[in-house]
Amino acid sequence: MANNGSKEFDYVVGIDIGTSKVACIVGKYIDQHSIEIVSMGSYPSSGLKKGVVVNIDATTDAIKKSIDQAQASFDEKIKNAYVGVAGSHVRSLNSHGIVGIKGSEVVAEDIDRVIEAAQAVAIPSDQRVLHVLPQEYVIDDQGSIREPLGMSGVRLESHVHLVTCANNAIQNIEKCVKRCGIDVDGFVLEQLASSFSILSEDEKELGVCLVDIGGGTTDIAVFNSGSISFTGVIPIAGDQVTSDIAVALRTPTAQAEEIKQKYGCAAAELTKKGESLEVVRLGGRPPEELSRRVLAEKIELRYVELFDLIKAEILRNGFENKIPAGIVLTGGTSKMEGVVPLAESIFQTSVRLGIPERFSGMESVLKNPIYATAVGLLGFGFDQIHQGYTLENNKSFFEKAFGFLKNNY
């Protein structure tokens, strides 16, 4: 049985559809509390730009090939998956709702109503709600409540973080996934997914900023007091670094990408004297030797611009003093030599590289920032299914009976 919210589930699948690659990861349930990663597939992507589908056929092909790779070493047929969403079309805002508690104590229906009340904000017609993420609840002026179920009171308030995205962007991704014969269990904001695989509960509690630097976009998420407070997207990432190298060295984009991965350094001061590389030139011109320090200077400029934009976003939203746990960098573009020390010098706080560590299995491949989102999608899916299972078990006999009658008659 697949990960469709039923109690009899065996596996959960995450598909990270990125600008540079599509990754498909399969996790099999060991028990109700943990899963083991048993299979994965990854294939270069060319059908997306800045997180948005620009070529449906190319995107479908990349998704299919990554799923086929994962399927090759997995016994069951992959039918469902959680899919990551990113791009500059993603918007977010904080909202709140207030309702009266119907009985003497808070029940699940009251929580549903107050969350629904918090969603009553004006959203453009071309956008849809992707996530409603509860931050805290307030019962009769008593705040900082995480789980209000069963508490006594008269008035219930909720503070939530709303994430919206473009309808057409989601529809295009869904179309590509469905063409591969896969049903979407849920769309997940990519930086939210990454947080499930690389952030500790202590970091979220203290206050931390997650920065996922991918190929097309840089995704930001700020956590405070255990819940998400802010999400943002900056349309500068690894592709811009590659483009800078291609333009500066007058070399093809594919060669520029190879140079970036092999010789790239984000802090010129870390390069050693005498280090050099050979650059293939356009138009059949003879190759040219280049100092690695010169290359690092070109790359450093773009990273400094990116980190300055992230810092400005944090300052603009008032979180500069609310992230004592510092910055956690992840994503493929964060792996380059010199990125962490450069980030520390700009942000003036502790910076670490986030590596997925939540689940066991295939550690030699998956302990890599490139797979933070894909592994995080498993974490999100696992928590959703486990939460649904717990809620089902907590229902009374009459609630279960009523639900059965409602669904079957």
Name every residue whose Cβ is closer than 8 Å to that of residue 50 and which is 6 or more positions away in sequence.
19, 87, 88, 216, 217, 235
Q: Does the predicted model carry a pTM greater than 0.85?
A: yes
| Of 193 and 283, more confident | 193
- The rounded Cα 127 to chain-centroid distance in angstroms is 19
Could you tell me how many residues make up the chain? 409
Distance CA 401, CA 381 (A): 27
Confidence of residue 145 (pLDDT cuts 50, 70, 90): very high
pLDDT in tens, 168-201: 999 999 999 999 999 999 999 999 999 999 999 9
CA separation for the pair 78, 69 (Å, rounded) = 11
Q: Are 241 and 266 in contact (CB under 8 A)?
A: no
For residue 137, the domain's CATH number is: 3.30.1490.110
Question: Is 245 a domain residue?
Answer: no
Residue 156 lies in a domain: yes
- Residue 51: the pLDDT is 86
Q: What is the pLDDT of residues 203-212, one digit of tens each?
A: 999 999 999 9
Q: Are 30 and 49 in contact (CB under 8 A)?
A: no
Asked whether residue 198 is domain-assigned, the answer is: no
> What is the percentage of the chain residues whose pLDDT exceeds 90?
73
Taking the C-alpha atoms of residue 242 and residue 246, their distance in angstroms, rounded to an integer, is: 6
Contacts with 250 (C-beta within 8 Å, 6 or more apart), sequence order: 281, 282
Q: What mean pLDDT do residues 380-407 have?
A: 53
Long-range contacts of 340-344 (CB under 8 A, 24+ apart): 341/267, 341/270, 342/266, 342/267, 342/300, 342/303, 342/304, 342/307, 343/307
Query: Is there a domain that residue 96 lies in?
Result: yes
Closest to 352 (Cα-Cα) out of 360, 362, 363, 344: 344
Phi-psi bin for 138: left (phi > 0), alpha (psi -120 to 50), beta?
beta
pLDDT at residue 9, as a whole number:
59
pLDDT of res. 116: 93
In a domain, 30, yes or no: no
Question: What burial class does residue 394 get, using C-beta atoms within 10 Å of its C-beta: 0-12 exposed, 13-18 middle, 19+ buried?
Answer: exposed
Per-residue pLDDT of 295-312, as tens digits, reads 999 999 999 999 999 999
Q: What is the mean pLDDT of residues 128-155?
A: 92
User: Domain total for the chain?
Assistant: 1
Direct distance between the N- and C-terminal alpha carbons of the chain, in angstroms, rounded to an integer? 25
Q: Is residue 155 part of a domain?
A: yes
- Give me the pLDDT at residue 398, please: 36
- Cβ of 199: how many Cβ atoms within 10 Å? 21
Mean pLDDT of 202-224: 95
Cβ pair 133, 163 in contact under 8 A = yes
Q: For 227-268, how does the pLDDT look when each residue is reduced to its tens digit (9 = 90+)?
A: 999 999 999 999 999 999 999 998 999 999 999 999 999 999
Residue 127 lies in a domain: yes
Query: What is the residue-averaged pLDDT of the chain?
Result: 89
Contact residues for 76 (Cβ-Cβ < 8 A; gap 6+): 2, 10, 11
In-domain check, residue 130 = yes
Give residue 109's domain range: 91-165
Helix (H, G, I), strand (E, B) or coil at 85: strand
User: What pLDDT does residue 385 have?
Assistant: 78
Q: For residue 386, give the H/E element and its range.
A: helix 372-394
pLDDT at 2 over 80: no
Placement of tokens 């690389």 in the chain:
198
Check residue 241 and give its pLDDT. Answer: 95
Residue 308 identity? D
